[in-house]
Structure 1
Amino acid sequence: MLENPTPMIAQYLSVKAKHPQEILFFRLGDFYEMFFDDAVLASRELEIALTARDGGNKNKIPMCGVPYHAANNYIAKLIDKGYKVAICEQVEDPKMTKGLVKREVIKVVTPGSFFNENLEQGSNSYIVQVVRYELEAALAVVDVFTGEFKYQYLGRLENDSLLLDSLARLNPVELILETITPANDVMLEFLQSRFPKCLLTYYKPDVAEQLLEKHFEQRPAQIVAVKAIENLLAYVQYILKIDCKHINKLEEIVQEEYMRLDTATLRNLELLRNTNDYGSKNSLFWALNATRTSMGARKLRKSIEFPLLNINTIRTRQEAVGVLIKETLRRDTIAELLDNCCDIERLLSKVELNTINPRDLVNLKQTLIKLPSLKVELSNLTASGLLQKLGLELALQSELGVLLEQALVENPPLIIKDGGVFKSGYSQDLDELRELSQDSDTWLKNFEQQQRELTGIKNLKVGYSKIFGYYLEVSKGNVGAVPANFIRKQTLVNGERYIVAELKEFEDKILGSKEKVYQLELLLFENLRLQVAKNIKELQLLAQQLALLDLVLSFATVADRYNYICPQVVSGDQLKIVEGRHPVVERLLKKELFVPNNTDFAGARIQIITGPNMAGKSTYMRQVALLCIMAQVGSFIPASQATISPIEQVFTRVGASDDLATGQSTFMVEMQEVAGILARANKKSLIILDEVGRGTSTYDGISIAHAVVEYIAQKIKAKTLFATHYHELIELETCLTEVKNFSVAIRERGREIVFLRRIVRGGSDKSYGVHVAQLAGLPSSVLLRATALVDFYAKDNNICQPEKTPSVAKKSVDNHSTGDLFNDVLLQEVLELDLPSITPLEALNFLYKFQAELKKT
């Protein structure tokens, strides 16, 4: 502890003691200064100079600083690196204060409270609070920039799967835990692997009671949920230092109302992000996103994260989409009206946080003036109950719109201090002050000319400096002609500067008027902000209405553009799709023709799909899951016909990789995912399993895959797509009535195969692995050797019997003979040629390759 610190350093230490977890930005004049360990850390992370300062008793303490006007750039860098920043401001006017200026922390900037102007479209900045209490758990979620506040009661957790799945859907930027526990360590590992930008914070408020009642009307029945909500509200107040009146609606996440999507499914199906660079491009969100507003994009993202189970709600959305597809002109008009609508939800947070600027209010005004036209368009769409209801209930906010229109100029400055925000005629007092200010230039010119005439000094001029104010400047040669009423203020090399009483009176008047203009505009702007704040709830409702409209408009736009159809969503247990297409892959193929496929689970709930790699098995399986999800968010789907009953859960096990962080192998990860699926799936689930068992020995893999299929068929009875290379599994169709075999159609042409991308009835008993290796570009000698070994191992020969191992490639090279090579390999290919269907060009290509391989040997 520093002994005998200076008063300023003592003040700093007092503030820092209350914010030990944050880097403290301590305002000193035009800079934010950092001291002690904060200075060392900040200088390293921000790459700024580290200096020293006298801290008292001749002690030198580390110090660094950044200009206050550029602070946001530095804060953003620290936030991006995983730090939090406490902003300590001067809360007194130094001119009006004797001694040390009072300073307080006005806000704490964290990933969840940093206003990111470049936030990825449709994303939220969620802060999530997790609380465990007497074996139960709950989480609370807030986005302080949209006012959204939700909670989820997780019940008694046997494991962390439900919690981790919920976190995966929310994709938080900040996670708040009360204490460090082994269970929290599991979450930490998960978050670090899935969300490297998520900041983990341990925070337990001293007092959090009554905050729930202060913000919300309803109160959850579960104690653990109440604790999560109140703790999160306390944290929000800790970082924002305000009441946050825009956080006024509490929503419960009721899992039973939505399709459950676990962590692996969100990732494997690329619902929100691709698995390449984790961006939104080439995801389902990307494929469905034709939204016109940020509010609509967020609504789309939430809809994909939480597909609906209620058939009536789904049909209501579908009906609206269908009407908008037919009403082309009205759809285009509505789209134009939604274009450039401001993000009302995030704007309202700026109103509450008092960070709103004049241009924000102009954007709100431009949005509000569109609403009457939008209401007319919607009220004419009587064929859709949803659209007509939106038209009838649209919150117009006419009075606020008129007020903003009367008050604000079309292109105001970004900062209120720059002036010129309000229209002439809005305030008589402001107009008078402006007139006085604008007339000052004319007065000064007239005064200057008058003084020249009175004194006879032709080069006399009027000037202004911040130190002396307005003055009269006279050159050295004319000093003798200066009259007695001129009072000398400053001597220059080439002249003298004077003031006179009349000029001083003008200065007091004009400078006072400019200050009054600024103060009056500031007051008028604050009044406008308060008027908007009075309408927060109504504006939040408007934002929700516009978001829902934008969502169904986006569905209609995409459906019309890419030829989607309306799936029949029915009760029961049906899943039939005719000529279904993958919504992302068909877009990426561009001019190439995507091959559609049929899906029908009538008569068999498990489809075993065989065929080579790259033939399209994985695309087909993902396609089925994606079309079900699209149908349950209310979207049309890429198909010619479909009947779908709501799926309660979608599970996927598609690919796996080593979990290096926990030392788990590919096979262990695969088995854990399969175990989780078998534990949680039910009859109304859709399961996608791709190559189960491939991470271990062949016989173990076949046995595990066999047992998994049996378990699903006999115990779970879920709709299942099971892709495998174990051709032995096609025999299960003969003993399990729930199983049917399907395969990817292949056309063989000698040593070549053509993927037809069509899923057909019946199993395949060939892997075509060597053919795929050929497509991958393996050397021809390796391919020849592999072809010979396939037959060798098919006869159950042992690799440790070298005398029996064929040496096709070696013999060919050593003997320079084509006879054995021809008989062993190429002869077989010639015999397999489909001569009636082969074209002359294909025959010539085969002959050319044949000759080239013979030349090599």
Structure 2
Amino acid sequence: MQKTPLPSASLSSNTPMMKQYLTIKHQHLDTLLFYRMGDFYEVFFDDAKKASRLLGISLTARGKASGSPIPMAGVPYHAVDNYLIKLVNLGESVAICEQIGDPATSKGPVERKVVRIITPGTITDEALLNDRKENIVACVFQQDNIFGYATLDIASGEFLICELNSSEAFESELHRTSPVELLHPEQWDNSQIIANRKGLRACPPWEFDLATATKLLNRQFKTNNLTGFGVDNAKIALIAAGCLMQYINDTQLVALPHIHNIKLTSQDNCIILDAATRRNLELTQNIAGGFDNTLISVLDHTSTPMGSRLLQRWIHQPSRDHQLITGRFNAIGSFITAQNIEPLQEQLKLVGDIERILARIALRSARPRDFSKLRNALGLLPEFHQLLAENTDSARLNQLDQDLASYPQLFELLTQAVVEVPPTLIRDGGVIAPGYNEELDHWRDLSQGATDYLNQLEIRERESTGLSSLKVGYNRVHGFFIEISKAQAVDAPAHYIRRQTLKNNERFIVAELKEHEDKVLQSKSKALAIEKALSQLTYLQLTSSAISQIDVLTNLAERALANNYHCPTLHNGIGVSFKESRHPVVEHVMSAPFISNPVELSNERQMLIITGPNMG
């Protein structure tokens, strides 16, 4: 599709609204701009053509630019999530431009600005995410033969960096992390490694600078230096992290308090699996790209989405740390011995996705039901502590029990402040429980009484003016108004101030109505401010991590019992010795009994070709 040059915002032929649109659009040339107009998000020019093609929506026109009709398309604001899902899945980014001014007081177009930019790797909305899959944005920077690689899951706040000594090692790490967006330098010599990937973002060379990166990261973590994170020597990885941090700042447009740490990882601590090995082992995805007959399909009976994501991380990055592995084995054995797997899993099913809820709270994008889910999860913590009291023989579970902590004051606050079943969206109102805030109750009563007030005002004004067509109304765009037919509008009283002209009617405002409108709008803004004040909850991330690990460990204990798995013994030598071993996936696929196999591999015998009843 041929692109049409975007007109200048300064063209005299542009309407005030179109000048505003073009001014904002020129700041987001590579992003679809969803421009809020009343109950719709509108797109214009080439954005409209693209949106029409990708979303299957009607392409119309509005006005003219340089003598040609301006292409236009739009989607209802209340259904925007459905369209955003489609665009994000296609690798598109969308800038959301909202009305932030008051239509009642605006001269010319209502003030608007971009409040968030949605990209495939930076989404946190529950409706846009796959809850069982990590959503990672990454950045790579190469200097000589060293690859600096940074990854961020903005929905959890986990920020990781590593340095890799070969293109093969980088390719392996890229395949393991599978970022949905990847930032890379322009004119990169090794760009063939990432060819044909979705979500590629080429960044200019000045965004890859160590001094700038260090400054950005210190500002994010509120530190004077990065020494405490143990990353000072990973300079190439830090350059990648700085570019990534700048991208996150540019797209999120808000503070990111849940991103408060950066960790340096090393492939030395895990078993390295190259891309071909991961693909052929079908760990979390089969050869056809599906879920069936994979290792994760057998092992993942977790109770929470965050537990499922953690299990996949463990599978894709198998540890070589004997102490860590032994700690997990002991925890699994403790659950089997204590026989408390089922009651723990029943409680875990009630928790929800706290990890991503906390991220949305930190980003000020949480919805009312996020707060009620968090409250319900906090209410379960005493039960978790009681159940884990039976697992004192596991040092790992004892530590997780401590990490769970307890938040009685926060639980009480959320219980008192948030209604039992809140609405889906804050704009629907009714989120804060009655009796929690006296001032809010006052303004809410006023707002809910608006209909009675308007009915009384309509009767009074109709009688005083003698205008039979007079009506008093309200809409979200223009606020409160008095509407009179055009035939009778010439007889409107002198103190009526014209607000809007329609095809068959004129709309006016009077001082009393404006005063009431100010009070009602103030009541809504005050309610919103109080609801947003509940967003200081990022210290709960440690609790979220503990719940995820408990979920994975109870899940593995249940799988061990159900599938008759046995705990292996570790050693530091070379080789493995399996007695009556079974393939965990093949035995689930076969209708006939699986014939177990002994396997002995050592330094002297490093490969076996196995044939027999399970072959094929």
Q: Where in structure 2 are the equivalents of 1:8-407 lying within 5 Å? A: 8-56=17-65, 58-114=67-123, 115=125, 117=127, 119-155=129-165, 157=166, 160-189=167-196, 191=197, 198-204=198-204, 208-209=212-213, 210-216=215-221, 217=226, 218=229, 219-276=231-288, 278-328=289-339, 330-407=340-417
2:534 paired residue among 508, 528, 547: 528
SS at match of 2:92: coil
For residues 425 and 441 of structure 1, the distance between their equivalents in structure 2, rounded to whole angstroms, comes to: 23
Aligned residue number for residue 495 of structure 2: none
For residues 187 and 593 of structure 2, the distance between their equivalents in structure 1, rounded to whole angstroms, comes to: 54
CA 1:354–1:434: 2 relative to 1, 3 Å: closer
CA 1:399–1:97: 2 relative to 1, 3 Å: same
The answer to whether the 8 Å contact 1:334/1:377 transfers is yes
- CA drift at 1:519: 3.6
- CA drift at 1:577: 0.7
SS at match of 1:63: strand
CA 1:22–1:600: 2 relative to 1, 3 Å: same
- CA drift at 1:58: 4.1
Aligned residue number for residue 593 of structure 1: 593
- CA drift at 1:222: 2.8
Q: Deviations over 1:113-171 (max 9, x none)?
A: 2335364453111111011123321111011111111111113x3xx211111111111
The answer to whether the 8 Å contact 1:430/1:517 transfers is yes
Amino acid at match of 1:522: L
- CA drift at 1:30: 3.3
SS at match of 1:130: strand
CA 1:145–1:333: 2 relative to 1, 3 Å: same
- CA drift at 1:202: 0.9
For residues 234 and 437 of structure 1, the distance between their equivalents in structure 2, rounded to whole angstroms, comes to: 42
For residues 170 and 65 of structure 2, the distance between their equivalents in structure 1, rounded to whole angstroms, comes to: 51
Amino acid at match of 2:292: K
For residues 131 and 440 of structure 1, the distance between their equivalents in structure 2, rounded to whole angstroms, comes to: 59
SS at match of 2:302: coil
CA 1:443–1:100: 2 relative to 1, 3 Å: closer
Q: Given the two structures, how large is their TM-score scaled by the length of structure 1? A: 0.60
Aligned residue number for residue 561 of structure 1: 562
For residues 420 and 103 of structure 1, the distance between their equivalents in structure 2, rounded to whole angstroms, comes to: 26
CA 1:279–1:223: 2 relative to 1, 3 Å: same
Aligned residue number for residue 440 of structure 2: 430
Q: Given the two structures, how large is their TM-score scaled by the length of structure 2? A: 0.82
The answer to whether the 8 Å contact 1:317/1:386 transfers is yes
CA 1:515–1:28: 2 relative to 1, 3 Å: closer
CA 1:29–1:434: 2 relative to 1, 3 Å: closer
Q: Return the index of the structure with the highest Cα Rg.
A: 1
The answer to whether the 8 Å contact 2:147/2:236 transfers is yes
Q: Where in structure 2 are the equivalents of 1:486-501 lying within 5 Å? A: none
Gaps of 5+ in 2: 461-470, 483-509
CA 1:561–1:119: 2 relative to 1, 3 Å: farther
- CA drift at 1:270: 0.8
Q: Where in structure 2 are the equivalents of 1:544-555 lying within 5 Å? A: 544-555=545-556
Q: Deviations over 1:4-34 (max 9, x none)?
A: 3514434333333332222222333333332
Share of identical aligned residues, percent?
Answer: 33
Amino acid at match of 2:194: M
CA 1:11–1:430: 2 relative to 1, 3 Å: closer
Gaps of 5+ in 1: 192-197, 452-462, 472-500, 619-857
For residues 593 and 558 of structure 1, the distance between their equivalents in structure 2, rounded to whole angstroms, comes to: 19
CA 1:234–1:281: 2 relative to 1, 3 Å: same
Matched, 1:606 2:606: yes
CA 1:299–1:526: 2 relative to 1, 3 Å: same
CA 1:241–1:33: 2 relative to 1, 3 Å: same
Aligned residue number for residue 616 of structure 1: 614
- CA drift at 1:385: 1.0
For residues 17 and 128 of structure 2, the distance between their equivalents in structure 1, rounded to whole angstroms, comes to: 37
The answer to whether the 8 Å contact 2:63/2:69 transfers is yes
For residues 246 and 225 of structure 1, the distance between their equivalents in structure 2, rounded to whole angstroms, comes to: 21
SS at match of 1:413: coil
Q: Deviations over 1:274-323 (max 9, x none)?
A: 223x2223211121112111111111000001111111111111011011
The answer to whether the 8 Å contact 2:271/2:319 transfers is yes
Aligned residue number for residue 479 of structure 1: none
Number of equivalences: 555
- Which stretch of structure 1 is more off in the superposition, 132-141 or 32-41? 32-41
The answer to whether the 8 Å contact 2:454/2:472 transfers is no
Aligned residue number for residue 636 of structure 1: none
For residues 610 and 315 of structure 1, the distance between their equivalents in structure 2, rounded to whole angstroms, comes to: 30
Q: Deviations over 1:815-851 (max 9, x none)?
A: xxxxxxxxxxxxxxxxxxxxxxxxxxxxxxxxxxxxx
Q: Deviations over 1:87-129 (max 9, x none)?
A: 2333322322223444333222211123353644531111110
The answer to whether the 8 Å contact 2:574/2:602 transfers is no
- CA drift at 1:267: 0.9
For residues 528 and 174 of structure 2, the distance between their equivalents in structure 1, rounded to whole angstroms, comes to: 43
SS at match of 2:183: strand
For residues 256 and 46 of structure 1, the distance between their equivalents in structure 2, rounded to whole angstroms, comes to: 46
Amino acid at match of 1:187: I
Aligned residue number for residue 490 of structure 2: none
More RCO (CA 8 Å, sep 6+) = 2
SS at match of 1:88: strand
CA 1:240–1:161: 2 relative to 1, 3 Å: same
- CA drift at 1:464: 6.8
Amino acid at match of 1:363: K
CA 1:469–1:444: 2 relative to 1, 3 Å: closer
Amino acid at match of 1:335: Q
For residues 469 and 40 of structure 1, the distance between their equivalents in structure 2, rounded to whole angstroms, comes to: 36
Amino acid at match of 1:228: A
For residues 60 and 447 of structure 2, the distance between their equivalents in structure 1, rounded to whole angstroms, comes to: 45
- Which stretch of structure 1 is more off in the superposition, 56-65 or 541-550? 56-65
Amino acid at match of 1:601: L
Aligned residue number for residue 544 of structure 2: 543
For residues 583 and 56 of structure 1, the distance between their equivalents in structure 2, rounded to whole angstroms, comes to: 64
The answer to whether the 8 Å contact 1:140/1:232 transfers is yes
For residues 518 and 37 of structure 2, the distance between their equivalents in structure 1, rounded to whole angstroms, comes to: 27
For residues 246 and 187 of structure 1, the distance between their equivalents in structure 2, rounded to whole angstroms, comes to: 30
Aligned residue number for residue 577 of structure 2: 576
Aligned residue number for residue 478 of structure 1: none
The answer to whether the 8 Å contact 1:372/1:396 transfers is yes
Q: Deviations over 1:160-214 (max 9, x none)?
A: 211111111111111111113341123214x3xxxxxx31111237564411112
